[in-house]
Structure 1
Amino acid sequence: MKIKNILLGLTIAVFSLTSCEKSFDELEKDPNRPVNAPASLVLNGILNDMYSVTGSPWGSQQRYNQFYCSNYDYYATNEYSWTTTGLSFSTLKNVIKMEEEAKAAGGAEVNPYTALGKFFRAYFYEDMTKRVGDLPLTDALKGLDNATPKYNTQKEVYVQVLKWLDESNADLTTLIANGNKTLAGDFYLGNNLRQWQKVVNSFKLRVLVTLSKKETDADLNIKARFAEIVGNPTKFPIMTSMADNLQYIHNTVNKYPRNPDNFGFNATRENMSKTYIDLLVDRKDPRLFIVAEPADAKLKAGLKATDFAAYVGASSGEDLADMSTKALKGEYSFLGKKRYYSNYVGEAVAIISYTETCFNIAEGINRGWATGSAEDFYLKGISASMNFYGVDATALNTYLTGDLVKYTGNTSSGLTQILTQKYLAFAQNSGMEAWYNQRRTGVPTFLVGVGTGNSGRIPKRWQYPSSELSTNKDNLKSALTSQFSGGNDDINESIWLLK
Structure 2
Amino acid sequence: MKNIFRLLLLFPLWGLGGCQDFTTLEKDPNRPVNAPASLVFNGVLNDMYNVVNGGSAWGDKARWNQYYCSNYNYYATNEYSWTTTDLYYFTIKNVLKMEEEAKRAGLPEQNPYSALGKFFRAYFFENMTKRVGDIPMTEALKGLESPTPKYDTQKAVYVQVLKWLDSSNEELAALIAKGDRNLSGDIYLGNDLVKWQRAVNSFKMRVLISLSSKDADGELQVKQRFAEMISNPTKFPVQASMSDNLQYTFNNFNKYPRNPSNFGFNATRENMAKTYIDLLVTRKDPRVFVVAEPAEAKINAGLKATDYEAYVGASSGEDLADMSTKVLKGEYSFQKRARYYSNDVGEALFLIGYPELCFNIAEGINRGWATGDAASWYKKGIEASMSHYGIADAATLTTYLDGTLVKYAGNNQTGLSQIVTQKYIAFFQNSGLEPFYNQRRTGIPTFLTGVGTGNSGRIPKRWQYPATERTTNVTNYNSALSSQFTGKDDVNDLMWLLK
Q: TM-score range by the shorter chain?
A: over 0.9
Q: Which amino acid aligns with 2:360?
A: N
In structure 1, the partner of 2:4 is none
- Rounded to whole Å, the distance in 2 between the matches of 1:20 and 1:360 is 63
Further displaced range: 163-172 or 51-60: 51-60
- Rounded to whole Å, the distance in 2 between the matches of 1:105 and 1:458 is 49
In structure 1, the partner of 2:293 is 293
| Alignment counterpart, residue 37 of structure 1, candidates 27, 35, 57 | 35
Gaps of 5+ in 1: 1-7
In structure 2, the partner of 1:3 is none
In structure 1, the partner of 2:416 is 415
In structure 1, the partner of 2:3 is none
Gaps of 5+ in 2: 1-6
Q: Which amino acid aligns with 2:101?
A: E
In structure 1, the partner of 2:178 is 178
In structure 2, the partner of 1:143 is 143
Question: What SS does the aligned partner of 2:285 have?
Answer: coil
Shift of residue 89 of structure 1?
A: 0.4
- Rounded to whole Å, the distance in 2 between the matches of 1:444 and 1:303 is 27
Structure 1 moving runs of 4+ over 2 Å: 8-22, 24-32
Shift of residue 414 of structure 1?
A: 0.2
Whether 1:17 and 2:16 are equivalent positions in the alignment is yes
- Rounded to whole Å, the distance in 1 between the matches of 2:251 and 2:182 is 27
Q: Which amino acid aligns with 2:449?
A: V
- Rounded to whole Å, the distance in 2 between the matches of 1:262 and 1:138 is 44
Further displaced range: 398-407 or 31-40: 31-40
- Rounded to whole Å, the distance in 1 between the matches of 2:386 and 2:261 is 28
Q: CA RMSD in A?
A: 1.6
In structure 1, the partner of 2:379 is 379
Per-residue Cα deviation, 1:455-485 (whole angstroms, up to 9, x for no partner): 0000000000001111000001000100013
Q: Which amino acid aligns with 1:427?
A: F
Q: 1:90-129 alignment to 2 at 5 Å?
A: 90-129=90-129
Give TM-score scaled by structure 1 length. 0.96
Question: What SS does the aligned partner of 1:450 have?
Answer: coil
Q: Which amino acid aligns with 1:155?
A: K
Whether 1:431 and 2:432 are equivalent positions in the alignment is yes
Shift of residue 179 of structure 1?
A: 1.3
Per-residue Cα deviation, 1:267-290 (whole angstroms, up to 9, x for no partner): 110000000000000000000000
Shift of residue 307 of structure 1?
A: 0.4
Further displaced range: 278-287 or 185-194: 185-194
Shift of residue 365 of structure 1?
A: 0.1
- Rounded to whole Å, the distance in 2 between the matches of 1:468 and 1:30 is 31
- Rounded to whole Å, the distance in 2 between the matches of 1:290 and 1:321 is 28
In structure 2, the partner of 1:247 is 247
In structure 1, the partner of 2:457 is 456
Shift of residue 110 of structure 1?
A: 1.0
Per-residue Cα deviation, 1:182-241 (whole angstroms, up to 9, x for no partner): 011111111111111001000000000000000000000000100111111110010010
- Rounded to whole Å, the distance in 2 between the matches of 1:367 and 1:493 is 27
- Rounded to whole Å, the distance in 2 between the matches of 1:67 and 1:310 is 17
- Rounded to whole Å, the distance in 2 between the matches of 1:179 and 1:298 is 59
Shift of residue 71 of structure 1?
A: 0.4
- Rounded to whole Å, the distance in 2 between the matches of 1:25 and 1:11 is 24
Question: What SS does the aligned partner of 1:452 have?
Answer: coil
- Rounded to whole Å, the distance in 2 between the matches of 1:232 and 1:81 is 44
In structure 1, the partner of 2:472 is 471
- Rounded to whole Å, the distance in 2 between the matches of 1:489 and 1:175 is 44
- Rounded to whole Å, the distance in 1 between the matches of 2:468 and 2:191 is 36
Question: What SS does the aligned partner of 2:494 have?
Answer: coil
Q: Which amino acid aligns with 1:321?
A: A
- Rounded to whole Å, the distance in 1 between the matches of 2:404 and 2:8 is 100
Question: What SS does the aligned partner of 1:69 have?
Answer: strand
- Rounded to whole Å, the distance in 2 between the matches of 1:430 and 1:9 is 66
Preserved CA contact (<8 Å) 2:383 2:392? no
Shift of residue 30 of structure 1?
A: 2.7
Per-residue Cα deviation, 1:344-365 (whole angstroms, up to 9, x for no partner): 1001000000100000000000
- Rounded to whole Å, the distance in 1 between the matches of 2:114 and 2:105 is 13
Shift of residue 13 of structure 1?
A: 7.7
Per-residue Cα deviation, 1:117-172 (whole angstroms, up to 9, x for no partner): 00000000000000000011111110111000000100000000000000000111
Shift of residue 16 of structure 1?
A: 3.5
Shift of residue 28 of structure 1?
A: 4.6
In structure 2, the partner of 1:308 is 308
- Rounded to whole Å, the distance in 2 between the matches of 1:428 and 1:174 is 35
Q: 1:206-355 alignment to 2 at 5 Å?
A: 206-355=206-355
In structure 1, the partner of 2:81 is 81
- Rounded to whole Å, the distance in 1 between the matches of 2:8 and 2:459 is 78
Shift of residue 26 of structure 1?
A: 6.0
In structure 2, the partner of 1:55 is 54
Shift of residue 19 of structure 1?
A: 4.0
In structure 2, the partner of 1:446 is 447
In structure 1, the partner of 2:498 is 498
Further displaced range: 233-242 or 11-20: 11-20
Give TM-score scaled by structure 2 length. 0.96
Q: Which amino acid aligns with 2:429?
A: Q
Shift of residue 435 of structure 1?
A: 0.3
Q: Which amino acid aligns with 1:90?
A: F
